[in-house]
Structure 1
Amino acid sequence: MSLSSLTKPWEPMSYGFLDPSAKRELRRKMLKAVAVPGCQMPYASREVPMARGWGTGGLQVSLTLINPKTRVKVIDQGADDSVNAASIRRFLARVSGAPTTLDTLDADLIQSRHRIPEEKLRADQILVLQVPNPEPLRPVEPNMSIARQMHGDADYGRMWLQLYEQIVRSGRVMQGASYPSMVNGRHVMTPSPIPRWDVPKLHMAKHLTILSAGREKRIFAVPPFTRVEPLVFDDVPYRVEEHGQLTCYRSGAEGFFMNEIPQPDGSALHEISDSEYGVKHIRTAQGEPDARGETWYQNGQMEDTP
Structure 2
Amino acid sequence: MKPNTHFAFFDEGSKKEIRRAIMKAVAIPGYQVPFASREMPIARGWGTGGLQITLSIIGKSDVLKVIDQGADESVNAVSIKKLVYETTGVELTEQTDKASIIQSRHRIPEVALTEDQIIVLQVPMPEPLRPVEASELKTKSMHAEDDYSGVWLMLFEQIMKYGKTATGADHPVYVNDRYVMAPSPIPRFDNPKMHESEALILLGAGREKKIYAVPPYTNVESLAFEDYPFAVETFEGKDCHLCGSTDVFLDELIDPQTGETIYQCNDTSFCIDQLNKKEEVEVQTSYA
Measured against the shorter chain, the TM-score band is over 0.9
1:174-185 residue pairs with structure 2 within 5 A? 174-185=166-177
Task: Show the counterpart of 2:273.
Answer: 280
Q: Which runs of 5+ in 2 are unaligned?
A: 283-288
1:230-249 residue pairs with structure 2 within 5 A? 230-249=222-241
1:242-261 residue pairs with structure 2 within 5 A? 242-261=234-253
**Are the aligned partners of 1:116 and 1:194 in contact in 2 as well (CA < 8 Å)?**
yes
Task: Show the counterpart of 2:83.
Answer: 91
- SS class of match (1:137): coil
| Residue type of the alignment partner of 1:83 | V
Q: How far is 1:146 from its partner?
A: 0.8
For residue 36 of structure 2, the aligned residue among 26, 33, 44 is 44
Aligned residues: 280
Task: Show the counterpart of 1:163.
Answer: 155
- Cα distance in 1 for partners of 2:86, 2:242 equals 33
| Residue type of the alignment partner of 1:12 | N
- Cα distance in 2 for partners of 1:218, 1:14 equals 24
- Cα distance in 2 for partners of 1:209, 1:189 equals 13
Q: Which moved more, 1:258-267 or 1:198-207?
A: 258-267
Q: How far is 1:47 from its partner?
A: 1.1
Q: How far is 1:287 from its partner?
A: 1.6
- Cα distance in 2 for partners of 1:42, 1:246 equals 43
- Cα distance in 2 for partners of 1:117, 1:25 equals 29
- SS class of match (2:226): coil
- Cα distance in 1 for partners of 2:252, 2:140 equals 38
- Cα distance in 2 for partners of 1:266, 1:38 equals 45
2:181 counterpart of 1:209: no
For residue 264 of structure 2, the aligned residue among 268, 271, 279 is 271
Q: Which runs of 5+ in 1 are unaligned?
A: 1-10, 290-306
| Residue type of the alignment partner of 2:78 | A
| TM-score computed with the length of structure 2 as normaliser | 0.94
For residue 141 of structure 2, the aligned residue among 140, 149, 164 is 149
1:6-21 residue pairs with structure 2 within 5 A? 12-21=4-13
Q: Which moved more, 1:135-144 or 1:244-253?
A: 244-253
- Cα distance in 2 for partners of 1:167, 1:266 equals 34
Structure 1 pair 120–263 and aligned structure 2 pair: CA distance change class (3 A): same
- Cα distance in 1 for partners of 2:52, 2:235 equals 33
For residue 135 of structure 1, the aligned residue among 127, 149, 153 is 127
1:191-230 residue pairs with structure 2 within 5 A? 191-230=183-222
Task: Show the counterpart of 1:300.
Answer: none
- SS class of match (1:209): strand
- Cα distance in 1 for partners of 2:74, 2:95 equals 15
2:17 counterpart of 1:25: yes
**Are the aligned partners of 1:245 and 1:255 in contact in 2 as well (CA < 8 Å)?**
no
**Are the aligned partners of 1:79 and 1:275 in contact in 2 as well (CA < 8 Å)?**
yes
Q: Over residues 222-261 of structure 1, what are the superposed CA-to-partner deviations in whole Å (9 max), with x where a residue is unaligned? A: 0001011011111111100012432111222122101111
Q: How far is 1:178 from its partner?
A: 0.5
- SS class of match (1:287): helix
- SS class of match (2:263): strand
Q: How far is 1:211 from its partner?
A: 0.2
| Residue type of the alignment partner of 1:190 | A
- Cα distance in 2 for partners of 1:102, 1:87 equals 14
Q: Over residues 195-218 of structure 1, what are the superposed CA-to-partner deviations in whole Å (9 max), with x where a residue is unaligned? A: 000010000111100000001000
- Cα distance in 1 for partners of 2:113, 2:236 equals 21
| Residue type of the alignment partner of 1:239 | A
- Cα distance in 2 for partners of 1:131, 1:269 equals 30
Structure 1 pair 152–271 and aligned structure 2 pair: CA distance change class (3 A): same
Percent identity at matched positions?
Answer: 47
Runs of 4+ in 1 over 6 A off after TM superposition: none
- SS class of match (2:25): helix
